[in-house]
Amino acid sequence: MTQEKRKIIILGSTGSIGTQALDIIDYHKDKFEVVAISGNKNYKLLNEQIQKFKPAYCAIADESLEKKLISDKTKVFSGDEGIIEMCRVCGADIAVCAIVGIAGLKSTIACIESKMTIALANKETLVAGGKLVTELAAEYNTPIYPVDSEHSAIFQCIQNESNRNGIKNIYLTASGGPFVDTPIEDMHKITVEQALKHPNWSMGAKITIDSATMMNKGLEVIEAKYLFNVESSMIKVCVHRKSIVHSMVEFKDNSILAQLGRPDMRIPIQYAIMYPERIDCPSEELDIFNTGSLEFERPDFDKFPSLKIAYRSLEEGRGRSLVINSANEEAVEAFLKGKIKYNKIYEIIESAYNTIESADEMDLSSILETDKRTRIFCREIMHKRRQ
């Protein structure tokens, strides 16, 4: 008997995760049907994807580029609202949410409300609106499967836990990024080029900078809290430079389970969209005989204060993680454009954190309002400091 294909929407199909998700889908053509794709500005790649995957729908965030999409049988949408509308009408069973930043929040919510299974790469969605998003997912009875490699590892390690009571600690591994050995007094000299060179992973620009500042790991601590509903004190970060062990879970009997693999995002992407099935994957095998020793170190919280502030935001609650996320997005964008120095990224986040107020119970409009206030504040201080 032939199995029905899973209908899938890829939000952010032109990005690093989006293109790798399409790789997996292309490899398993018999299992998936791409019904919708979206991108921000890259209409050329969207046109190639339309040609190859023939989705019924395609959306581009930049409305001025809508006419550039060559669509014969594909219905085209544009603008933020166009993306949301596409989510609502496309009829997908699974959504790969791979837009970068809080820009992906509304479309993730639209997919949840359309009762799709969520394969979530867009961690900023949980950092900015974790409570709202997880509550909505519970209300609509839609599972959220992590795509982030660490969270996929944890998810894989707890498959046999009928409840979470047996978990003692979660060890989130971190490569440490390119500056793990850079002396703290040299951090101010870091250039955009240096920060964009990640030792193990090839990813989009924003997350690559987040990895260099270790804010990525801070965001992942917050992401883990919402995905696995554990106390923040149970989430520990450990530096593991080889990115072979993708994370570990320690249980109350002092047994530790880990998930290992090559640093290849196609493995966690496939796990999320095929869950719970395990089938072959186009990724390379991990050659355990040539892996060498596996080492774990404590992170340097003084050199990477982004970790400290992430934990602090979880302890304080009241939407504090949202402020970190918005300020980080603004600061990273400014750094990538050469407007601020590397070591100002953290200063801007801290200033916003200490100034911008946020509330505990947040609906979508108050999340977006706090996001806007934080961004305006960050732009103002960056502008003043340049003068």
Tell whether the torsion through CA atoms of 29, 73, 16 and 367 is positive or negative: negative
- Residue 133 site contact among ligand NAD, Mg ion, none (CB < 5 to 8 Å, cut-off depends on kind): none
Q: Print the binding letters for residues 21-40 with ligand NAD: x by CB under 6 A, - otherwise.
A: ------------------xx
Q: Residue 90: name the closest of 75, 104, 103, 78 by CA.
A: 75
Alpha-carbon distance 159 to 280, whole Å? 19
Bridge partners of residue 297, in order along the sequence: 239
- Residue 100 site contact among Mg ion, ligand NAD, none (CB < 5 to 8 Å, cut-off depends on kind): ligand NAD
**Cβ of residue 289: shortest distance to ligand NAD, in angstroms?**
26
Alpha-carbon distance 187 to 214, whole Å? 13
Site size toward ligand NAD, by CB under 6 A: 26
Contact with ligand NAD (CB under 6 A): which of 15, 177, 178, 261?
A: 15
Q: Print the binding letters for residues 58-97 with ligand NAD: x by CB under 6 A, - otherwise.
A: ---x------------------------------------
Contact segment (CB under 6 A) with ligand NAD among 115-123, 187-195, 248-256, 288-296 equals 115-123
Contact segment (CB under 6 A) with ligand NAD among 16-24, 132-140, 280-288, 328-336 equals 16-24
Could you tell me if 321 and 125 are in contact, meaning their C-beta atoms sit under 8 angstroms apart? no
Q: Print the binding letters for residues 265-284 with ligand NAD: x by CB under 6 A, - otherwise.
A: x-------------------
Compare residues 117 and 152 and give the one whose CB is closer to ligand NAD.
Answer: 152
- Residue 122 site contact among ligand NAD, Mg ion, none (CB < 5 to 8 Å, cut-off depends on kind): ligand NAD
- Residue 17 site contact among ligand NAD, Mg ion, none (CB < 5 to 8 Å, cut-off depends on kind): ligand NAD
Contact with Mg ion (CB under 5 A): which of 124, 148, 264, 330?
A: 148
DSSP SS3 for 147: coil
H-helix or E-strand containing 129?
Answer: helix 123-139
Q: Which of residues 38-57 bind ligand NAD (CB under 6 A)?
A: 39-40, 42
Could you tell me if 154 and 131 are in contact, meaning their C-beta atoms sit under 8 angstroms apart? no
- Residue 246 phi, psi dihedral angles, 5° rounding: -90, -15
Alpha-carbon distance 265 to 357, whole Å? 36
Burial 253-271 (b: 16+ CB within 10 A, else e): eeeebbbebbbbbbbbbbb
Could you tell me if 69 and 60 are in contact, meaning their C-beta atoms sit under 8 angstroms apart? yes
Does residue 100 belong to the site contacting ligand NAD (CB under 6 A)? yes
**DSSP 8-state assignment for residue 337:** T
Alpha-carbon distance 127 to 222, whole Å? 6
Does residue 333 belong to the site contacting ligand NAD (CB under 6 A)? no
Q: Which residues sit at the interface with Mg ion, rule CB under 5 A?
A: 148-150
Q: Which residues sit at the interface with ligand NAD, rule CB under 6 A?
A: 12-18, 39-40, 42, 61, 98-100, 103, 121-124, 148, 201, 203-204, 206-207, 265
